[in-house]
Amino acid sequence: MTVLPIYYVNAFSSLPFSGNPAAVVLLEEWLPDDSLITLANEINLPETAFLVGDHIRWFTPKIEVPLCGHATLATAFVLKTIKQSSNDLFKFQSLSGELTVSCQDSLFTLNFPTIPATLNNDIKSVLEEKLALQIDEVWQARDRYVCFLSDPETIINYQPNFTQIAQLPLPGVIITAKGHAPFDFISRFFAPVKGVNEDPVTGTSHCVLAPIWGNKLNKTQLQARQVSKRGGNIDCVLKDNRVLLTGAAALFLTGEITF
Protein backbone atom coordinates (compact mmCIF):
# COMPACT_ATOMS: atom_id res chain seq x y z
CA MET A 1 0.00 0.00 0.00
CA THR A 2 1.24 3.49 -0.90
CA VAL A 3 0.24 6.52 1.18
CA LEU A 4 1.00 10.03 -0.10
CA PRO A 5 0.25 13.41 1.54
CA ILE A 6 -1.93 15.70 -0.55
CA TYR A 7 -2.79 19.37 -0.13
CA TYR A 8 -5.63 21.19 -1.88
CA VAL A 9 -4.80 24.88 -2.27
CA ASN A 10 -6.69 27.72 -3.93
CA ALA A 11 -4.12 29.93 -5.68
CA PHE A 12 -4.33 33.59 -6.71
CA SER A 13 -6.93 34.29 -4.04
CA SER A 14 -7.01 34.59 -0.26
CA LEU A 15 -10.72 33.80 -0.12
CA PRO A 16 -12.37 30.38 0.12
CA PHE A 17 -14.11 28.95 -2.95
CA SER A 18 -12.27 31.25 -5.34
CA GLY A 19 -8.97 31.35 -7.20
CA ASN A 20 -7.59 28.32 -9.02
CA PRO A 21 -7.56 25.01 -7.14
CA ALA A 22 -4.40 22.92 -7.32
CA ALA A 23 -3.36 19.71 -5.65
CA VAL A 24 0.17 19.43 -4.28
CA VAL A 25 1.56 15.92 -3.76
CA LEU A 26 4.92 15.54 -2.03
CA LEU A 27 6.91 12.47 -3.11
CA GLU A 28 10.10 10.89 -1.83
CA GLU A 29 10.87 9.58 -5.31
CA TRP A 30 9.24 9.70 -8.72
CA LEU A 31 6.45 7.30 -9.55
CA PRO A 32 6.11 6.04 -13.14
CA ASP A 33 4.62 8.65 -15.48
CA ASP A 34 1.46 6.63 -16.06
CA SER A 35 0.91 6.56 -12.28
CA LEU A 36 1.29 10.35 -12.09
CA ILE A 37 -1.25 10.85 -14.88
CA THR A 38 -3.64 8.35 -13.25
CA LEU A 39 -3.37 10.18 -9.93
CA ALA A 40 -3.92 13.59 -11.55
CA ASN A 41 -6.94 12.23 -13.38
CA GLU A 42 -8.38 10.80 -10.17
CA ILE A 43 -7.75 14.05 -8.27
CA ASN A 44 -9.41 15.87 -11.21
CA LEU A 45 -8.35 19.43 -10.43
CA PRO A 46 -7.11 21.79 -13.17
CA GLU A 47 -3.51 20.98 -12.16
CA THR A 48 -1.73 18.64 -9.79
CA ALA A 49 1.86 19.46 -8.84
CA PHE A 50 4.19 16.63 -7.86
CA LEU A 51 7.37 17.53 -6.01
CA VAL A 52 10.51 15.46 -5.38
CA GLY A 53 13.15 17.54 -3.63
CA ASP A 54 13.22 20.75 -5.66
CA HIS A 55 12.05 19.10 -8.91
CA ILE A 56 8.45 20.02 -9.80
CA ARG A 57 6.14 18.55 -12.46
CA TRP A 58 2.57 19.50 -13.36
CA PHE A 59 -0.30 17.41 -14.72
CA THR A 60 -3.82 18.20 -15.86
CA PRO A 61 -6.30 15.33 -15.62
CA LYS A 62 -5.07 14.28 -19.10
CA ILE A 63 -1.48 15.37 -19.77
CA GLU A 64 1.77 16.68 -18.34
CA VAL A 65 2.33 20.37 -19.07
CA PRO A 66 5.67 22.22 -19.33
CA LEU A 67 4.70 25.18 -17.13
CA CYS A 68 2.00 25.97 -14.58
CA GLY A 69 1.76 29.10 -12.48
CA HIS A 70 -0.98 28.47 -9.96
CA ALA A 71 0.21 24.98 -8.99
CA THR A 72 3.75 26.34 -8.49
CA LEU A 73 2.38 29.06 -6.23
CA ALA A 74 0.37 26.41 -4.37
CA THR A 75 3.51 24.30 -3.88
CA ALA A 76 5.45 27.24 -2.42
CA PHE A 77 2.46 27.96 -0.17
CA VAL A 78 2.51 24.38 1.16
CA LEU A 79 6.25 24.50 1.82
CA LYS A 80 6.07 27.88 3.56
CA THR A 81 2.77 27.68 5.40
CA ILE A 82 2.16 23.98 6.03
CA LYS A 83 5.71 22.66 6.22
CA GLN A 84 6.86 25.82 8.04
CA SER A 85 9.95 26.34 5.90
CA SER A 86 12.18 29.19 7.04
CA ASN A 87 12.95 30.05 3.40
CA ASP A 88 11.52 33.15 1.78
CA LEU A 89 12.72 32.05 -1.65
CA PHE A 90 12.05 28.67 -3.24
CA LYS A 91 13.83 27.40 -6.34
CA PHE A 92 12.20 24.70 -8.46
CA GLN A 93 13.71 22.73 -11.32
CA SER A 94 11.21 22.11 -14.10
CA LEU A 95 10.67 21.44 -17.79
CA SER A 96 10.81 25.23 -18.20
CA GLY A 97 14.13 25.59 -16.39
CA GLU A 98 14.68 27.00 -12.93
CA LEU A 99 11.70 28.84 -11.47
CA THR A 100 11.71 30.86 -8.28
CA VAL A 101 8.93 31.84 -5.90
CA SER A 102 9.50 34.49 -3.24
CA CYS A 103 7.28 34.98 -0.21
CA GLN A 104 6.42 38.21 1.59
CA ASP A 105 3.50 39.13 3.83
CA SER A 106 1.36 36.13 2.77
CA LEU A 107 1.90 36.93 -0.92
CA PHE A 108 3.84 34.76 -3.35
CA THR A 109 5.71 36.05 -6.40
CA LEU A 110 6.50 33.73 -9.30
CA ASN A 111 9.49 34.62 -11.47
CA PHE A 112 8.52 33.12 -14.83
CA PRO A 113 9.76 33.47 -18.41
CA THR A 114 7.62 35.55 -20.72
CA ILE A 115 6.02 33.55 -23.52
CA PRO A 116 6.47 35.24 -26.90
CA ALA A 117 3.48 35.80 -29.14
CA THR A 118 3.02 36.99 -32.70
CA LEU A 119 0.12 38.70 -34.42
CA ASN A 120 -1.88 36.20 -36.50
CA ASN A 121 -5.08 37.71 -37.87
CA ASP A 122 -5.16 35.10 -40.66
CA ILE A 123 -7.06 32.79 -38.32
CA LYS A 124 -9.39 35.49 -36.98
CA SER A 125 -12.38 34.43 -39.09
CA VAL A 126 -12.04 30.81 -37.97
CA LEU A 127 -11.88 31.86 -34.32
CA GLU A 128 -14.84 34.20 -34.71
CA GLU A 129 -16.88 31.31 -36.12
CA LYS A 130 -15.84 28.74 -33.49
CA LEU A 131 -16.11 31.15 -30.57
CA ALA A 132 -19.13 33.06 -31.86
CA LEU A 133 -17.41 36.33 -30.96
CA GLN A 134 -16.39 39.51 -32.75
CA ILE A 135 -12.62 39.71 -32.35
CA ASP A 136 -10.46 42.81 -32.81
CA GLU A 137 -7.14 40.98 -33.25
CA VAL A 138 -5.54 37.59 -32.69
CA TRP A 139 -2.12 36.73 -31.33
CA GLN A 140 -0.63 33.27 -31.26
CA ALA A 141 1.70 31.92 -28.54
CA ARG A 142 2.92 28.33 -28.47
CA ASP A 143 -0.20 26.29 -27.71
CA ARG A 144 -2.82 29.01 -27.47
CA TYR A 145 -4.60 31.81 -29.30
CA VAL A 146 -5.01 35.23 -27.68
CA CYS A 147 -8.19 36.97 -28.82
CA PHE A 148 -8.51 40.68 -28.06
CA LEU A 149 -12.05 41.99 -27.67
CA SER A 150 -13.25 45.57 -27.33
CA ASP A 151 -15.89 45.06 -24.62
CA PRO A 152 -14.97 43.62 -21.20
CA GLU A 153 -18.61 42.79 -20.46
CA THR A 154 -18.64 40.42 -23.43
CA ILE A 155 -15.83 38.45 -21.80
CA ILE A 156 -17.50 38.42 -18.39
CA ASN A 157 -20.82 37.17 -19.80
CA TYR A 158 -19.41 34.82 -22.45
CA GLN A 159 -20.86 31.28 -22.60
CA PRO A 160 -18.27 29.08 -24.36
CA ASN A 161 -19.06 26.11 -26.57
CA PHE A 162 -16.31 23.70 -25.55
CA THR A 163 -17.05 21.28 -28.38
CA GLN A 164 -16.33 24.03 -30.90
CA ILE A 165 -13.22 25.21 -29.02
CA ALA A 166 -11.87 21.65 -28.98
CA GLN A 167 -11.91 21.64 -32.80
CA LEU A 168 -9.38 24.48 -33.11
CA PRO A 169 -5.84 23.71 -34.32
CA LEU A 170 -4.29 24.84 -31.02
CA PRO A 171 -5.58 23.49 -27.69
CA GLY A 172 -5.86 26.76 -25.76
CA VAL A 173 -7.80 30.02 -26.21
CA ILE A 174 -7.46 33.22 -24.20
CA ILE A 175 -10.04 35.98 -24.56
CA THR A 176 -9.00 39.34 -23.15
CA ALA A 177 -10.01 43.00 -23.02
CA LYS A 178 -9.06 46.19 -21.24
CA GLY A 179 -10.40 46.08 -17.68
CA HIS A 180 -12.34 48.42 -15.49
CA ALA A 181 -10.34 50.15 -12.72
CA PRO A 182 -8.36 49.02 -10.82
CA PHE A 183 -7.59 46.30 -13.39
CA ASP A 184 -5.57 47.04 -16.51
CA PHE A 185 -6.91 43.98 -18.30
CA ILE A 186 -9.14 40.96 -17.78
CA SER A 187 -9.12 37.53 -19.37
CA ARG A 188 -10.50 33.99 -19.49
CA PHE A 189 -8.79 30.79 -20.65
CA PHE A 190 -10.23 27.63 -22.20
CA ALA A 191 -8.43 24.35 -22.94
CA PRO A 192 -10.93 21.48 -23.23
CA VAL A 193 -8.50 19.29 -25.20
CA LYS A 194 -6.14 19.38 -22.20
CA GLY A 195 -8.90 18.28 -19.84
CA VAL A 196 -9.60 21.77 -18.48
CA ASN A 197 -12.70 23.33 -20.04
CA GLU A 198 -12.09 26.66 -18.33
CA ASP A 199 -9.09 27.28 -16.12
CA PRO A 200 -10.13 29.58 -13.26
CA VAL A 201 -6.87 31.59 -12.96
CA THR A 202 -3.96 30.89 -15.30
CA GLY A 203 -0.42 32.00 -14.49
CA THR A 204 1.00 30.96 -17.86
CA SER A 205 -1.62 33.00 -19.71
CA HIS A 206 -0.26 36.08 -18.00
CA CYS A 207 3.23 35.19 -19.22
CA VAL A 208 1.70 35.84 -22.67
CA LEU A 209 -0.73 38.63 -21.80
CA ALA A 210 1.44 40.87 -19.63
CA PRO A 211 4.03 41.65 -22.36
CA ILE A 212 1.35 42.38 -24.97
CA TRP A 213 -0.77 44.54 -22.66
CA GLY A 214 2.36 46.18 -21.28
CA ASN A 215 3.27 47.27 -24.79
CA LYS A 216 -0.27 48.40 -25.58
CA LEU A 217 -0.60 50.41 -22.37
CA ASN A 218 3.07 51.45 -22.11
CA LYS A 219 3.32 50.00 -18.61
CA THR A 220 5.66 47.55 -16.88
CA GLN A 221 3.40 46.95 -13.89
CA LEU A 222 -0.15 45.78 -14.51
CA GLN A 223 -3.10 44.67 -12.42
CA ALA A 224 -4.93 41.73 -13.96
CA ARG A 225 -8.07 39.80 -13.13
CA GLN A 226 -9.18 36.50 -14.61
CA VAL A 227 -12.97 36.72 -14.68
CA SER A 228 -13.91 33.06 -14.52
CA LYS A 229 -16.74 32.05 -12.19
CA ARG A 230 -14.24 31.55 -9.34
CA GLY A 231 -12.06 34.52 -10.33
CA GLY A 232 -8.65 35.64 -9.17
CA ASN A 233 -6.21 38.55 -9.20
CA ILE A 234 -2.63 38.62 -10.48
CA ASP A 235 -0.19 41.51 -10.15
CA CYS A 236 2.19 41.45 -13.13
CA VAL A 237 5.59 43.13 -13.33
CA LEU A 238 7.66 42.96 -16.52
CA LYS A 239 11.40 42.74 -16.01
CA ASP A 240 13.75 41.95 -18.91
CA ASN A 241 12.35 38.76 -20.48
CA ARG A 242 10.68 37.68 -17.27
CA VAL A 243 7.34 38.40 -15.67
CA LEU A 244 6.79 38.53 -11.92
CA LEU A 245 3.33 37.20 -11.03
CA THR A 246 2.14 37.92 -7.50
CA GLY A 247 -0.88 36.48 -5.74
CA ALA A 248 -2.20 35.01 -2.53
CA ALA A 249 -3.24 31.45 -1.68
CA ALA A 250 -5.54 29.68 0.76
CA LEU A 251 -5.55 26.10 2.03
CA PHE A 252 -8.80 24.23 1.47
CA LEU A 253 -8.00 20.74 2.75
CA THR A 254 -5.26 18.26 3.56
CA GLY A 255 -5.36 14.49 3.33
CA GLU A 256 -3.75 11.28 2.17
CA ILE A 257 -3.86 9.34 -1.07
CA THR A 258 -3.95 5.59 -0.51
CA PHE A 259 -3.54 3.07 -3.30
Give the Cα separation of 185 and 214 in Å (integer). Answer: 10
Look up 47 and say whether it is catalytic: yes
Task: Pick the closest to residue 45 from 205, 252, 259, 247 (CA basis).
Answer: 252
Could you tell me the CA-to-CA distances from 69 to 35, 106, 124 in Å, in that order?
A: 23, 17, 28
| CA dihedral angle for residue 139, residue 164, residue 65, residue 141, rounded to 10 degrees | -10
In this structure, are strands 47-52 and 20-27 parallel, antiparallel, or unpaired? parallel
Give the Cα separation of 81 and 87 in Å (integer). Answer: 11
**Residue type at 134?**
Q
Of 28, 29, 42, 47, catalytic: 47
Contacting residues for 194 by C-beta, under 8 A, at least 6 apart: 60, 62, 63, 65, 171, 172
Catalytic residue numbers, as ranges: 47
